[in-house]
Amino acid sequence: MKNKLGQLKIQQMAFMLIAITIFFVIAGMFALTMSSANNKKDAESIREENAMTLVSKLANSPEFSCGDVFGGEKVTCIDSDKAMILAQKSIEYKTFWGVEHIEIKLINSDVEKLCSLQNYPDCNTINILNNETKGAPISNFVSLCRKESFEGESYDKCEVAKIMVVSKGI
Amino acid sequence: MKSKKAIQLPFAWIFASLVGAFILFLAIYISIRVINTGNMEMDLQTGTEIGILLNPLETSFQSSQKNSFSLPVETRIYAGCLEKGTFGLQTIQISQMSFKKWTDTNSRVSFENKYIFSRNYSEGKTFYLFSKPFEMPFKVADLFYLTSSKEKYCFIDAPENIKEELDSLGQENIATKNCSVNSINVCFSAGNDCDIGVDYVGKVVAKKYNRFYFEGDALMYAAIFSEKQIYDCQLKRLMQRTEQLSELYRDKSSLVSKEDCNSNLELAALAGLTGSFENQGELVSISRIAEEIKQNNDLADCRLW
């Protein structure tokens, strides 16, 4: 009888220990899942935070900004001529801004006409960086200014455009 | 019967102890791993956030701007610089105090388009960032000066323009009068209690037996707030970007000349000089040619920037 009682105690203890192990495993898995969800949330909030300032930062960077060329310094004004040259330098600037894709689109037409040095300025889309990307673009309206000439006199021409940027995932 | 009972009890204890020890070991091991991963994640996240914090300082035309941030624990920020590639790299590594030990700093975030001037590492809970545009002769980049609240600077006998700029900036760890006892004294004239000497006319900063040559106020601040190796590396990176921008403006010049917009600037020469930049001594010749280009651009029919 006492022998049987002993065996029962061992069985009880074994079940108890297995139950404790399973409890710890489940608790650990739950903690890991929560932590991973938090990581994703943090990464997402950083990405959003970055995206908010990225477009205006890009438009005002020396490579894009109008500077003092078109009658005083303007915020979010892009020099179209500089952007055209930049489009030819996509290899040098491939990773410079930490973004996958930069495109500037005039909003004067529904039909997309990609700019090249041959057809510029008779076009409406300047593709500056075109790395393969799956992200959604962030966009902002900008003034797109360039020099034009009429009867031997050059003048400033500014139009409304949209800059679209796809940032790198974090 | 008695002897059987004696065997039964120790077996239960041995069994419980073994499994208990295993569970405890597993729990401790997992906890350590989770804490380490958490620390690393925290360091990377803080590094990225600092990078993002710099963005608003880059989007304005103001001559100088400041920002500050506080972290919940004692932190060391290592702002490093690498010369590789077309533009070089700005790296940020974070190490935080955890259980009275600094966390490992193997992980870092890097940026090609940022330039931070600081000591080898800045330590504290509150950090100050102040930015100023660097022009050669067009705007090349915004330079950032990173200091911690523990580093207090006092600018003694600074020229009026520098004094005004620093006073209007209102950064808590920079003073132009009433210097505290333990502050780092930056002297613009000869004095006894100087940690850093600035020859504003001769464009030299002397610090810890090192001489930093500068052109313009942005580089002067850079020399004051940074270590020599960081200054040299960032200067090289700035010249790399100046080279690319010179080429960009040169090509723009030929593009706009089709629209009766002419500007004859020696941008190819500037690109050549900045492209072959090796040391601070070459700054004088680069600055001279940049000044000529600036004057010609200001007078040109069609300004390029």
State the count of interchain CB pairs (< 8 A) between A and B. 125
List A residues 30-59 in contact with B (Cβ-Cβ < 8 A): 31-32, 35, 39, 42, 46, 49-50, 53-54, 56-57
Per-residue pLDDT, averaged over B242-261, amounts to: 91
pLDDT at A46 (0 to 100)? 64
Same domain, B81 and B144: yes
Chain A: closest CA distance from residue B230 (Å)? 20
Same domain, B139 and B19: yes
Same domain, B183 and B78: no
pLDDT at B62 (0 to 100)? 61
| Residue ending a domain, choose from B200, B226, B252 | B226
Mean pLDDT of chain A: 84
Q: Which residues of chain B are within 8 Å of residue A32 when distances are taken between CB atoms?
A: 34
pLDDT at A44 (0 to 100)? 66
pLDDT at B9 (0 to 100)? 60
A56-83 pLDDT, tens digit each: 888 889 999 998 888 877 788 999 999 9
Report cis status (omega within 30 of 0) of the bond before B137.
yes
Q: How far apart are CA B155 and CA B187, in angstroms?
A: 6
Per-residue pLDDT, averaged over B137-166, amounts to: 95
CB A98 within 8 A of CB B87: no
A24: nearest CB among B4, B23, B255: B23
User: Which is nearest to A104 in space by CA: A147, A152, A160?
Assistant: A160
Instruction: Output B150 or B55, whichever has higher pLDDT.
Output: B150
Largest Cα–Cα distance in chain A? 117
The DSSP result for B169-235, as a single string, is HT-TTEESSS--TTSEEEESS--SS-SEEEETTTTEEEETTEEEE-SSHHHHHHHHHS-HHHHHHHH
What are B126's strand-pairing partners? B70
What are B143's strand-pairing partners? B115, B132
Same domain, B107 and B158: no
| Residue ending a domain, choose from B104, B131, B150 | B150
pLDDT at B49 (0 to 100)? 74
pLDDT at A48 (0 to 100)? 67
Tokens in use for B184? Answer: 């780092």
Q: How many CA atoms lie within 13 A of A73 on its CB side?
A: 11
Q: Is residue B57 part of a domain?
A: yes
B261: nearest CB among A10, A67, A147: A147
Q: Do A53 and B59 make contact, defined as CB atoms within 8 angstroms? A: yes
B90, closest residue in chain A (CA to CA): A96
Q: Is residue B6 part of a domain?
A: no
pLDDT at A51 (0 to 100)? 67
Same domain, B124 and B210: no
pLDDT at A98 (0 to 100)? 86
pLDDT at B257 (0 to 100)? 87
Q: Which residues contact A12 (CB under 8 A, 6 or more apart)?
A: none
Q: Do B259 and A84 make contact, defined as CB atoms within 8 angstroms? A: no
What is the ipTM, given to two decimal places? 0.80
CB A39 within 8 A of CB B42: no
pLDDT beyond 70 at B146: yes
Domain segments of chain A as ranges: 53-167
Residue recorded with tokens 């545009």: B133
Instruction: Output A170 or B15, whichever has higher pLDDT.
Output: B15
Per-residue pLDDT, averaged over B48-67, amounts to: 72
Per-residue pLDDT, averaged over B39-62, amounts to: 71
pLDDT at B5 (0 to 100)? 53
Instruction: Output A168 or A162, whichever has higher pLDDT.
Output: A162
CB B245 within 8 A of CB A62: yes
Tokens in use for B250? Answer: 């040169």
The number of beta carbons lying within 10 Å of the beta carbon of residue B277 is 18
Same domain, B239 and B208: no
Q: Confidence band (pLDDT; 50, 70, 90) for B59?
A: low
Same domain, B68 and B100: yes
Residue recorded with tokens 């523990």: B150
Name the helix (H) or strand (E) containing B111.
strand B108-111
Same domain, B256 and B279: yes
pLDDT at A154 (0 to 100)? 82
A144-164 pLDDT, tens digit each: 999 888 887 888 999 999 999
B59: nearest CB among A42, A60, A97: A60
pLDDT beyond 70 at B231: yes
Q: Which residues of chain A are within 8 Å of residue B274 when distances are taken between CB atoms?
A: none
Report cis status (omega within 30 of 0) of the bond before B133.
no
Residue recorded with tokens 């004051």: B224
Q: Is residue B3 part of a domain?
A: no
Q: Do B113 and A98 make contact, defined as CB atoms within 8 angstroms? A: yes
pLDDT at B1 (0 to 100)? 47
Chain A: closest CA distance from residue B39 (Å)? 12
Please check whether residue A78 touches B, CB under 8 A. no
Same domain, B70 and B138: yes
The CA-atom distances, in angstroms, between B49 and each of B125, B130, B153, B295 are 15, 16, 26, 40
Asked which of A54-58, B124-128, B273-277 is least confident by mean pLDDT, the reply is: A54-58
Q: Is residue B305 part of a domain?
A: no
CB B197 within 8 A of CB B155: no
Q: Do A61 and B248 make contact, defined as CB atoms within 8 angstroms? A: no
B163-219 pLDDT, tens digit each: 999 999 999 999 999 889 999 999 998 877 899 999 999 999 999 889 999 999 999
pLDDT at A81 (0 to 100)? 94
List A residues 123-142 in contact with B (Cβ-Cβ < 8 A): none
| Residue ending a domain, choose from B150, B171, B197 | B150
HEC per residue, B227-290: CHHHHHHHHHHHHHHHHHHHHHHHHHHHHHHHHCCCCCCCHHHHHHHHHCCCCHHHHHHHHHHH
Instruction: Output B65 or B228, whichever has higher pLDDT.
Output: B228
Tokens in use for A84? Answer: 């055209």
Same domain, B248 and B156: no
Chain B: closest CA distance from residue A166 (Å)? 16
Q: Which residues contact B206 (CB under 8 A, 6 or more apart)?
A: B196, B197, B198, B199, B212
Q: Confidence band (pLDDT; 50, 70, 90) for A1?
A: low
Same domain, B113 and B49: yes
Q: Rounded to the nearest 10 degrees, how much is the dihedral formed by the CA atoms of B11, B12, B17, B18?
A: 60
User: Which is nearest to B252 in space by CA: B241, B261, B240?
Assistant: B261
CB A136 within 8 A of CB A52: no
Q: Is residue B5 part of a domain?
A: no
Q: How far apart are CA B3 and CA B1, in angstroms?
A: 5
Please check whether residue A4 touches B, CB under 8 A. no
A62: nearest CB among B41, B140, B259: B140
B41: nearest CB among A2, A24, A39: A39
pLDDT beyond 70 at B149: yes
Asked which of B52-61, B81-90, B221-230 is least confident by mean pLDDT, the reply is: B52-61
What are B154's strand-pairing partners? B175, B185
Q: Which residues of chain A are within 8 Å of residue B5 when distances are taken between CB atoms?
A: 2, 6
Give the pTM. Answer: 0.82
Tokens in use for B178? Answer: 């009433």
Q: How far apart are CA B3 and CA A113, in angstroms?
A: 96
CB B112 within 8 A of CB A95: yes
pLDDT beyond 50 at B260: yes
Same domain, B157 and B144: no
* Residue span of the structural domain in which B59 resides: 12-150
What proportion of chain B, given as a percentage, has pLDDT over 70? 94
